[in-house]
Amino acid sequence: MRPDQQLLSVLPGSGWDNLINEERGLTIDRERYTLCRLSSDGKLLLPDDVFVENLRSSNIELTSDVFSHFTNYTSLTSYSMNTATDVKMNFASVSGDFSFEKEYIRKAENVNRGLTVRSQLRHRIYAVHQLPDSTLHPRFRNRLLDIAAHLEASNTTVLFNTSDARRDAITQGGEYTGKHFGALVDHIRAAYLADLIVRDYGTHTVTSVEAGAVIAKVDSLSGSSRLLTSSDRLQLRATASSAFMGFFKISTGASTSNVEQSVGFNLQTLSNCTHLTQRLGIN
């Protein structure tokens, strides 16, 4: 590796627990560099089982969002993962609602009783993708083989395609004994090992990530912000964007005071709590 090159540290191929939005154990072997592959700009040394799309540009995205309830809050780093697995029913919604990020928003909302406003600057530099035929990580592969061995020993398909009466006989030690009891034990063992995989490797595997940087400012507003109309909330987003850029002394073509005057309120007077966070991504 030349002095002007570095290893890309933002990589797919890990497990992901979508309930708490946290990374888990490696599912592919992303530590192999036998092919000595480089990114298109020649600056990054890549593992054998990933490829990189260069997104580098001078454009930095500025967005502002208004959230009326913490359950609508979207993660800064795992939005696509949560969206893809969001399940809504008449009586419940299942998604990644237990992250520390969302927990902070919930607590702030319960205290201040108002809307939540988030402004963010995002710079995408690389998109890193996992190859379809990637090599499984040895530890993850061994765990899967253990489960497969127990399923094969239990002959699960035959055992659980029999009639209910025959399955009852197996579990009650009636018609079937010995070999069938051992098969049932193997089946239970396989289910247990599968649960351990979910615990250690999460509910999903990450196949694509973006490398870059994001910095965000979150304002938890007072209860009076609930009285704002839909039109006011749209203008609130403009105020938040202008104030956020002003925080970094960056010109947007419209001063914060002018935007606030057109909206009719000051963001600072509504904000009871402000949180600033950043995520960095290349090395």
Q: List the chain pLDDT tens, one digit each, 283 residues.
A: 676 778 888 899 999 988 777 889 999 999 899 998 988 878 889 999 999 988 866 578 888 999 998 888 887 776 656 554 444 444 444 444 556 778 888 888 888 889 999 998 888 888 899 999 999 999 999 999 999 999 888 875 545 554 555 555 545 555 555 667 778 888 899 999 999 999 999 988 999 998 888 888 888 888 888 888 888 888 888 888 888 887 766 655 544 444 444 444 555 556 666 666 766 554 4
pLDDT, position 59: 73
Domain boundary pick from 186, 204, 222: 204
- Alpha-carbon distance of 260 to 236, in angstroms, equals 8
- Verify that 253 and 273 share a domain, yes or no: yes
Strands 14-17 and 44-46 turn out to be unpaired
Task: Classify residue 1: in a domain, yes or no.
Answer: no
Write out the H or E segment, with its range, that includes residue 190: helix 179-201
Q: Which residues of 63-82 are buried (b: 16+ CB within 10 A; e: fewer)?
A: ebebbeebeebeebebeebb
Task: Classify residue 103: in a domain, yes or no.
Answer: yes
Do the beta carbons of residue 189 and residue 150 sit within 8 Å?
yes
Do the beta carbons of residue 134 and residue 28 sit within 8 Å?
yes
Domain boundary pick from 169, 204, 239: 204
> Within its chain, how far is the Cα of 36 from the centroid?
30
Half-sphere CA count of 196, side-chain side, radius 13 A: 13
Number of domains in the chain: 2
- Verify that 118 and 225 share a domain, yes or no: yes
Domain of 182 in residue numbering reads as 138-204
- Verify that 98 and 149 share a domain, yes or no: no
- Verify that 160 and 226 share a domain, yes or no: no
